Amino acid sequence: MDRTLQLRIMTGAALIAAAVTALWFGGMAFQGLVAAAVLLMWAEWAAMMRLGLAIRRIGLVFLGFCIALTVIIPMGEVLIAVAGGAALIGLFAGTGQRRAGMLTLAGLLYCGLPALALLWLRSRPEGLAATLFVLSIVWAADIGAYFIGRTLGGPKLAPRISPGKTWSGAIGGLVVAMVSALFMSAFYLPSGFGGWALNLASVAGVLAAFSILGDLFESGLKRRAGVKDSGHILPGHGGVMDRLDGVVPVSIAGAALFWMTGWAG
């Protein structure tokens, strides 16, 4: 096993352990972890998009303030604050340079919305299981795609965006995510491997597809910015955005699903 793969496995295992521990305790522990991830993501986004220092600092303060707001006001009001505040900061950043304004708005939403989705999901009566399910789908899809893609190779999924990703890896990620959902259902569902388990497996397949699309989207951002990784803080992975690219769309889609169905209470 080469050193890069060893670093990737060790870092990934440490991050998953930290996430599961914070998720288990919930409250300030989970909120603190989410806040740290969001602020690091924004710092990487702003650096990658070459935004001005003032906008970088304003964005950090704004996102940190919005995360803190989730403790004292309803999540719906925080969501409005994030959307409105991001638009105002984007207008400010876009004064004389429209591109900077659009990138600022997009970055604040890209970092802020998944954070609110995860915090809302964890706050539900069945939030521990629901949030663990959502995050586990991303982890399973990522692990399956990486190792199955490396093993089988084959045609490239999107060679112009991310030359290393293959169709075998994408399909492998979907399958591993669905199998993981069936495995989890044995612990969380009283009906075992019945209709509910199959429903969760189907949901897992859709969410895993979102995870793969999130990975490709972030790869496209990096290609446009002319960088290999969003940062260098995580050995074997690059930046925080590189590690959480799948979490961004899956957390939002997962929270929307649990909100519409009421499965999380």
Which has more pLDDT, 197 or 176?
176
Q: In this structure, what DSSP letter does residue 238 have? A: B
Sequence letter at residue 171:
I
Q: What is the pLDDT of residue 117?
A: 97
In DSSP terms, 234 is beta-bridged to: 238
How many angstroms separate the Cα of 53 from the Cα of each of 57, 113, 158, 209, 225? 6, 23, 34, 35, 17
Tokens encoding 25: 């305790």
Q: Decide: 162 and 145 in contact? Cβ < 8 Å.
A: no
The model carries a pTM of 0.93
Give pLDDT tens digits for 206-244: 999 999 999 999 999 999 999 988 988 988 778 999 999
Identify the domain containing residue 78 by its residue range.
3-261
Structural domains in the chain (count): 1
Share of the chain above pLDDT 90, in %: 71
User: Angle CA(125)–CA(131)–CA(132) in degrees, nearest 5?
Assistant: 120
How many angstroms separate the Cα of 192 from the Cα of each of 105, 136, 186? 44, 19, 5
Which has more pLDDT, 33 or 2?
33
Euclidean distance between CA atoms 120 and 74, whole angstroms? 9
Give pLDDT tens digits for 137-193: 999 999 999 999 888 988 999 888 888 899 999 999 999 999 999 888 776 655 444
Which has more pLDDT, 154 or 108?
108
- In the predicted structure, residue 256 carries a pLDDT above the cut 70: yes
Q: What is the pLDDT of residue 231?
A: 87
Q: In this structure, what DSSP letter does residue 16 have? A: H
Q: What is the pLDDT of residue 189?
A: 56
On the CB side of 228, CA atoms within 13 Å amount to: 5
Q: What is the pLDDT of residue 183?
A: 85
